């Protein structure tokens, strides 16, 4: 998710509880279930049981979330000094929820997206590629490339954000073998984007 914080102009889309619930129920949860079914087919059901939160998750979370926030804020500042986006359409900005139920749905949606993307781009890819690509740098590059391609719709700044975020999250996973920590960091960053969007709209 790209952090613009009101610095760049883009079309604002009101937050919809039903849209977020629909996306979570019809895409995020089924995709997550299918992915972990594939993982269990390769590694056995024990692989799911083994992925319980542990101390390494706290380390990767406390390093990952501030890192993602700094990357997002840094890119937002760059857009002020290097407006390469001129002449290109920016991705629409989804406004923050306006009700408590909306915020609950948004938080669940953000955490679900964090778990889905980290399960595939980091846990699955970086693990399944260990034998064909024993060099961690090559695995990180491939995982980050695929992750950034899924964010092309966010434009050049969004791609840059996803590249830097992908490298950071991949390095944390390789170092700590932590799924939950990077998923929490990813989801927390997405929540941060909504919070800052809500804050900037009040200024």
The chain-wide mean pLDDT, for the chain, equals 84
Q: Name 64's Cβ contacts closer than 8 Å, sequence gap at least 6.
A: 168, 169, 172, 181, 182, 184, 185, 186
Confidence label for 22 from pLDDT (cuts 50, 70 and 90):
very high
Percent of the chain with pLDDT over 70: 80
Q: Name 78's Cβ contacts closer than 8 Å, sequence gap at least 6.
A: 157
pLDDT at 76: 81
Q: Two tokens at 13?
A: 């889309």
Q: Which single residue is written with the structure tokens 């009040």?
A: 202
Q: Rounded mean pLDDT of 88-100?
A: 72
Q: What digits encode the pLDDT tens for the residues 127-141?
A: 889 989 999 999 999
Q: What digits encode the pLDDT tens for the residues 104-123?
A: 999 999 999 999 999 999 99
pLDDT at 47: 61
C-alpha dihedral, 137 to 31 to 97 to 69, nearest 10°: -10
Looking at per-residue pLDDT, the higher value among 40 and 42 belongs to 40
pLDDT at 95: 82
The alpha carbon of residue 86 and the mean position of all alpha carbons in its chain are separated, in whole angstroms, by: 26
Tell me how far apart the alpha carbons of residues 184 and 110 are, in angstroms, rounded to a whole number: 9
Indicate the domain borders of the chain. 103-203
pLDDT at 132: 92
Q: How much is the pTM?
A: 0.85
Q: Is the pLDDT of residue 36 over 70?
A: yes
Residue pair 193/161 in contact by the 8 Å Cβ criterion: no
Q: Two tokens at 48?
A: 């799911």
Tell me how far apart the alpha carbons of residues 20 and 32 are, in angstroms, rounded to a whole number: 16
Q: Is the pLDDT of residue 44 over 80?
A: no
Looking at per-residue pLDDT, the higher value among 166 and 40 belongs to 166
Residue pair 190/113 in contact by the 8 Å Cβ criterion: yes
Query: Which of 192, 148, 150, 151 has its CA nearest to residue 168?
Result: 148
């Amino acid at each position: 998710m790209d952090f613009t914080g009101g610095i760049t102009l883009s079309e604002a889309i009101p937050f919809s509880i039903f849209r977020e619930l629909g996306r979570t129920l019809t895409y995020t949860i089924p995709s997550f279930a299918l992915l972990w079914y594939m993982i269990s087919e390769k590694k056995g059901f024990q692989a799911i049981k083994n992925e319980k939160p542990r101390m390494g998750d706290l380390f990767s979370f406390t390093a990952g979330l501030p890192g993602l926030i700094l990357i997002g804020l840094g890119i937002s500042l760059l857009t002020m000094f290097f407006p390469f986006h001129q002449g290109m359409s920016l991705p629409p900005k989804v406004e923050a929820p306006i009700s408590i139920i909306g915020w609950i749905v948004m938080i669940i949606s953000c955490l679900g997206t964090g778990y889905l993307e980290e399960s595939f781009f980091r846990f699955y890819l970086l693990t399944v590629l260990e034998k064909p690509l024993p060099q961690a740098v090559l695995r990180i590059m491939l995982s980050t490339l695929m992750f950034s391609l899924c964010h092309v719709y966010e434009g050049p700044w969004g791609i840059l954000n996803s590249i830097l975020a992908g490298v950071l999250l991949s390095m944390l996973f390789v170092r700590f073998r932590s799924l939950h920590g990077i998923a929490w960091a990813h989801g927390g960053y997405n929540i941060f984007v909504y919070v800052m969007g809500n804050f900037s709209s009040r200024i």
